[in-house]
Structure 1
Amino acid sequence: MKVLLYGGTFDPPHNGHMNNLRAALDLVQPDRAIVMPAGIPPHKAASATPGAVRLAMCRCFTALSPVVEVSDWEIRQGGRSYTVHTLEMLRARFPDAALYLSVGSDMLLSFQKWCRWQDILQMAALVVESRRPGDEGALQTAADALQAAGGRVLFARAESYPCASSDLRTGRIPRAEWPRHLPAPVLQVIEEEGLYPAADALPATKEDCGHDL
């Protein structure tokens, strides 16, 4: 049995997130894929969007495959969410499963700063998406270092998506363009909840988007 974990703040989840999970599903072919919205990610400030609302937006991922499910486990724990604790929970829940952890290419480059990263490598293979042109050498170097430390690193076929969640929240991408970047169920939740008022308060720019998942 193969179990894929796909975590993130998802504030909001956009088509780049969808592309990344789709690529990981195609590569791993898991029996279960668990989308896990974070409570408070260690490397970011707490999200202003309530966990229950981010959880509702993440229902969009279930359209990708019948094996995809959305979990509120990290949100229910409260406080900061550490991937190693989530993997320990999954290891206890699925003791005989092969675990896979989906990460973006930027996360691979900083992986050795993660809490108990060596333990993560022992529990799960890393599935890396969103390769940006010019990053190949640095990514391979990072992958080689992690594999030398006993890890397993797989590269999925997903290109970097020209949108960031922060660009949507702050208005760098105007609302008129949001249907290009957001799944319809996410747009519906945003409208119903009145999310991201700052997007209406700032003028849109023509700067290139970053890669903030």
Structure 2
Amino acid sequence: MAKKRIALFGGSFDPIHTDHVNIAKACHEQLGFEEVWLVPAYLNPFKKKQNSIIKDRLSMLKIIESQNSFIRINEYEIRNQRATSTFETVSYILEHYPENDFAFIMGSDQLDNFEKWNEFDKLIKLVPFKVFKRQSAINQIIVDKYNLEVFEFNNNFLSSTKIRNLIDLDKQIPEINDYINYNLLYLHERLENQMDQERYLHCLNVGTMAKELALVWGESEQKAFIAGTLHDVTKRWDEQKSHWYLEHYMPGLLLEPKQVWHSFTGYLHLQKDWLIKDTEILQAVFNHTVGSPDMTRLDMIIFCADKISVERNYPNVEYFRNLCFENLEQGFKELLQMQYDRSIADHGVENIGKMLINTVKYWIENEEN
């Protein structure tokens, strides 16, 4: 009986992306491998840390496994709970699955360090290697020296680093991108270049406060956590960048005061660049500064959480915190009134924008009348 041909594809997969899957598809469809085993590393020997926890990396891999009948996940390195060399992994698999015929898959970007792999001299004799061209230029010296086979595939020139940093997300697997956004993975990489540490901690605090309010008021804790954490995602953008986004997508909002632009650019950035599709999350970010006449309960939660997060320390903040947990709508109205009064004091009534005025008229003045 002929042995089943299986391609071993190791990597950090942090996260897995379209090009990883396209390589696996090329192994199956072009090279005739019946299965491709993804072997996620517990810790890549050439890296100091992973960017996401094992649970999340495995969950993303399982999404891919469910979409492709020929893909399997081998958790040998994960179970080891330590950095495991390719030599050790391949040796284990060959010993425990002798009924199969294996080859090892690698990207051409790994060729420069290929000879530095642990016990390389033994490894190169242990299993055939199939190299997939990830870049236009490759280390041909190594290819020729070890008589390696090099293959093309449907290459989008993606990398996990790019995906973590919001580059080329339009080419990423939508379900993986949704998982990343919904679980706020790679948050530090995605926010650290856009804001200072104080603002970053504020965002984390608002996310936590929003989650606590959502629990009390029966809204989605995760949606509240996401919207709260990302509400100020563009707060530290410069005026030129903010102006560009509004001019291209919502030019009418350029008439609003610059101090509230970040609500609108945050909405646009999350929609256009993060590719967040959830309209409730997006709307909550949009409304977190000046509100609107049609505030949802989630909108109110984010609006309030921003003003009562744990690091806030202004007169009567404890009163507002308690009120928001006792009566969300009343807490929203009183915080709205406070913001309105402060905005007038700081900028003058002629410079606070129509949107805040319209929100106050709907939620406060109409009720009084």
| TM-score bracket for this pair, using the shorter chain length | 0.7 to 0.9
Shift of 1:80: 0.6
Matching residue's letter, 1:30: F
What SS class does the counterpart of residue 86 from structure 1 fall into? helix
Larger radius of gyration: 2
Kindly provide the amino acid, as one letter, of the partner of residue 23 in structure 1. A
1:68 match: 71
Offset from partner CA, 1:146-180 (integer Å, 9 cap, x none):
23xxxxx2222226533321122234x2xxx52x1
Q: Relative to 1, partners in 2 of residues 1:13 and 1:100: Cα closer, same or farther, differing over 3 Å?
A: same
- For 1:167, the aligned partner's letter is K
Q: Deviations over 1:44-85 (max 9, x none)?
A: 121031111101111243266422111222111011121111
In structure 2, distance between residues paired with 1:194 and 1:71: 26
Cα 1:79–1:134 shift into 2, 3 Å? closer
| Counterpart position of 2:191 | 200
* C-alpha distance 67-159 of structure 1, shift in aligned 2 (>3 A): closer
Aligned to 1:163: 158
2:161 matched to 1:133? no
Give me the whole-angstrom Cα distance separating, in 2, the residues matched to 1:49 and 1:65. Answer: 23
TM-score normalised by structure 1 residue count: 0.79
Aligned to 2:128, the other structure's residue is in SS state strand
TM-score, normalisation: structure 2: 0.48
Kindly provide the amino acid, as one letter, of the partner of residue 19 in structure 1: N
Matched, 1:11 2:6: no
- AA aligned to 1:26 is E
Contact residue 58 and residue 70 of structure 1 kept, 8 A: yes
Alpha-carbon distance in structure 2 between the residues aligned to 1:110 and 1:131:
15
* Matched residue SS, 2:84: coil
SS in structure 2 at match of 1:128: strand
Q: Distance in 1 between matches of 2:62 and 2:171?
A: 16
Deviation at 1:12, TM superposition (A): 0.9
- Alpha-carbon contact 2:26-2:153 (below 8 Å) kept: yes
**Can you list the C-alpha shifts for 1:134-157, whole angstroms capped at 9, x where unaligned?**
43xx32x2122123xxxxx22222
Aligned residues: 191
Query: Hey, which of these two has a bigger chunk of helix by percent?
Result: 2
AA aligned to 1:45 is K
Distance 2:149 2:65 in 1: 23
Distance 1:32 1:93, change over 3 A: farther
Match of 1:210 in 2: none
Match of 2:251 in 1: none
RCO higher in 1 or 2 (8 Å CA, sep ≥ 6)? 1
Question: Contact (CA 8 Å) 2:22, 2:155: kept in 1 or not?
Answer: no
Distance 1:132 1:159, change over 3 A: farther
Higher strand residue share? 1
Match of 2:43 among 40, 44, 51: 40
Tell me what 1:183 maps to: 173
How much has 1:31 moved relative to structure 2?
2.7
- In 2, are the aligned partners of 1:130 and 1:161 still within 8 Å (CA)? no
2:305 counterpart residue number: none
Give the distance between the partners of 2:121 and 2:64, measured in 1 at CA: 29
Counterpart-to-counterpart distance in 1, 2:49 and 2:21:
22
Q: Which runs of 4+ in 1 moved over 4 A?
A: none
Structure 1 contact 16–160 (Cα < 8 Å) conserved = yes
Q: CA separation in 1, counterparts of 2:105 and 2:67?
A: 15
1:28 counterpart SS class: coil
Q: How far apart are the structure 2 equivalents of 1:41 and 1:66?
A: 27
SS of 1:39's partner is coil
- Percent same amino acid at aligned positions? 20
Contact map agreement 2:135 2:157 (CA 8 A) in 1: no
Question: Hey, what's the Cα distance between the residues in 2 that align with 1:159 and 1:191?
Answer: 26
Unmatched segments (≥5 aa) in structure 1: 148-152, 205-213
TM superposition shift of 1:185: 2.3
Check if 1:114 corresponds to 2:104: no
1:62/1:68 contact within 8 Å kept: yes
